[in-house]
Amino acid sequence: MQISDILLPSAVKSVSQVSSKKRLFQDVAELAQTVYRVDAVRTFDALQERESLGPTGVGNGVALPHARLHGLDKVVALFFRLEKPMDFDAVDKLPVDLVFALLAPQSSGVDHLKALALVSRTLRDADLRAKLRANDDPVALHAVLAAAQDSQAA
């Protein structure tokens, strides 16, 4: 599995400001409906429910919100670059500006975990995070993410 297998270029967005985690999840859900044809309300509810179990801010300004949904046949992703970092209750207490959301089929099992591990491993790279923060063009952001995965596989 590679990032380009789960993240479409149209599912990448640069956002100037988000007022709250709830608003961010609404934006993610709306984009998921547009790009992947999943119900926005169910997506929002699933993301909120998962977040209530524990924050998905993993540190270094990165959050990995994720949820399982009916109506998907494979794991899909959305990436948001926030111009203004926001509080996400991250493990290191730092605000988040890189949000990589994963949506998985209700019965995805191992694929969901593989996707989480892939994204987590990829976004641990400080140089990659710097490249993502230095660019606000969604096409370029997608290219950086796809290229990073290709270089790690080599």
Q: Are 88 and 57 in contact (CB under 8 A)?
A: yes
In contact, 146 and 4? CB cutoff 8 Å: yes
66 assigned to active site: yes
CA atoms of 22 and 28, how far apart (whole Å): 10
Structure tokens at 145: 């993410």
Q: Which of 66, 70, 112, 142 is catalytic?
A: 66
> 6 is written with which tokens?
């789960």
Annotated active-site positions, please?
66
